[in-house]
Amino acid sequence: MDSQLVGKRILVGITGGIAAYKTIELIRLLRKNKAEVRVVLTPAATEFVTPLTLQAISGNPVAQSLLDPQAELAMGHIELAKWADMIVVAPASADFIARLTVGMADDLLSTVCLASSAPILLAPAMNQQMFSQTITQQNIRALQQRQVQFVGPNVGEQACGDVGAGRMSEPAEIHQKISELLSEAQDLLGVKVAITAGPTREAIDPVRYISNHSSGKMGFAIAEAFAERGATVTLISGPVNLPSPLNVHRIDVISAEQMQEQALMQAVQSHIFVGCAAVADYRVANIAEQKIKKAGDEIQLTLVKNPDIIAEVGHLSVNRPFTVGFAAETENLEQYAKDKLQRKKLDMICANDVSSGQVFNAEENSLRLFWSAGGTTLPLTDKRTLAKQLVNQIMSNYQQYYVEK
C-alpha cells in the first residue's frame, strides 16, 4: 500500500475524450491505496463514461452540475474546492487546458480548479496534431508557470490512427505521479531562482559559429530539482536539444551577449543565481555579413573577450543574489576553482574534471563543491540525482548566508 495516499482527498476530473475509460482504473488504484476520491464530470465526459460506473468505483456520488441544489448553500464548487487535497484531471482535453489557462469558469470542473488552492495535476490526452499546435504548447507553458503539474502525454498509436505524442499516460503512471507530488516537500515556495545552461554560439558568418560541447543536461536537471521543491525557476538556455523541465520558465538565447542581458535582468529579481552555462570565452570581432568563401590554406579571425557573466552577477552591488558558479577544468581543479570563487566573488563554486571529455553529453557526473568556509564532494551519479544533492547543498549554504548577513 502507498502510505502517501492513505486518507488523502483526491478530486478526479474527467473531460471529454476516448481516454476517459482509463480513468476508471486510476480511481480503482487510488481507492485501493485508501485515498478518498470524488469525481467531477464535464458534460462531454458523460458521452464516454457513466456517472453510475464512477459512483460505484469511487464510493461517492458523481458531481456534474455547477449549481447543485443538494450542496451546502447550492455552492458545490466551493465545497469540492475546499475538500480536495489534490485535483487530478484525466484526461485533460485541449479544450479544458485552454479554458483553464484563461481562467474560464463555465462548468463545474473549471470552476472548482479556479476556486481551489489545492495542487492541480493534468494528464493531457488529444490528437497528436492538436498537442503539437503552438497555442496548445503555449497554454501548457502558461499553466506550468502557475505551478500546474503535468504527467505525459505518452507517444504511440492513437484512437484516430495517428501516431505521436497525445496518448494519456497509463493509470499506473498517473497514480505514481500523484504519490510523488504528495510526498514532495514544497519547501522552496517563494524562492526565486535563475539558472543559465548549455553552450553559447558566437557567429563567424551567417552559417558558421564558435561553440563548445556543453549539452545543457546538468543545468536543466538543476532547474528541475529546484522546481520540484516549489521554487519559481527561470532557465536561460543556450542552443540545446532538451525539453523544458516542468514548471520552469525558459528563455532561449544564442550568444554570450544575449545570455548576459537576460542573466543580469533575472539575477536582480532572484534570490539564487546558478551559472551552469558553458559561455564562450571569446567571440569574433567582426562577423562577416556573407558566407566566407574558402580561399588559401589559412584564415585569420580576430577574437575579442566575451563578458564574464557569473563574475558580473557576483559583483552586483544592488539586489545581488546568492551566486553559484561552475568551473570545468582539465588540471589543477581545486586550485583553479578556489581562485575563481574568490576572484569572481562567488558564494559557491561547483567544479568538474573534464580532462577525459566524458562529462559533456554524459548521463552521469560528479562535482567538487567549494565555498569560503569549506567544501564537499558529490560522487558520480546520474545528473538528475546529482542535481537534487546539489540543490540540498545550495539551500544549506544559502540559509547560512542569510544568517551571517
pLDDT for 367-396, tens place per residue?
999 999 899 999 888 888 899 899 999 999
Long-range contacts of 56-59 (CB under 8 A, 24+ apart): 57/24, 57/27, 57/28, 57/31, 58/12, 58/27, 58/31, 59/31
275 is in an annotated binding site: yes
Q: Is 344 left (phi over 0), alpha (psi -120 to 50) or beta?
A: alpha
277 is in an annotated binding site: yes
| 9-182 and 192-404 in the same fold | yes
- pLDDT computed for residue 304 by the predictor: 95
- pLDDT computed for residue 211 by the predictor: 93
353 is in an annotated binding site: no
Active site residues: 160
344 is in an annotated binding site: yes
Give the containing element (helix H, strand E) for 213. Answer: none
The residue among 192, 190, 283, 279 whose CA lies nearest residue 235 is: 192
- CA-to-CA distance for 211 and 200, rounded, in angstroms? 6
Cα angle for residues 171, 175, 177 (degrees, 5° grid):
120
The residue among 106, 63, 54, 102 whose CA lies nearest residue 84 is: 63
- The domain defined by 192-404 carries CATH number 3.40.50.10300: yes
- pLDDT computed for residue 246 by the predictor: 78
3-class secondary-structure state, position 132: helix
CA distances from 195 to 238, 247, 261, 266, 392 (A): 11, 14, 13, 9, 16
291 is in an annotated binding site: yes
State residue 376 phi and psi, 5-degree precision.
Answer: -160, 170
In eight-state DSSP terms, residue 297 is S
HSE, side-chain direction, 13 A CA sphere, residue 384: 4
- pLDDT computed for residue 357 by the predictor: 58
- pLDDT computed for residue 118 by the predictor: 84
Residues of the chain short of pLDDT 50, as ranges, are: 71-75
308 is in an annotated binding site: yes
Amino acid occupying residue 206: P
Report residue 319 as a C-alpha cell.
Answer: 539586489
309 is in an annotated binding site: yes
- The domain defined by 9-182 carries CATH number 1.10.3720.10: no
HSE, side-chain direction, 13 A CA sphere, residue 215: 15
294 is in an annotated binding site: no
Give the start-to-end residue ranges of the domains of the chain. Answer: 9-182, 192-404
The residue among 127, 48, 116 whose CA lies nearest residue 82 is: 116
326 is in an annotated binding site: yes
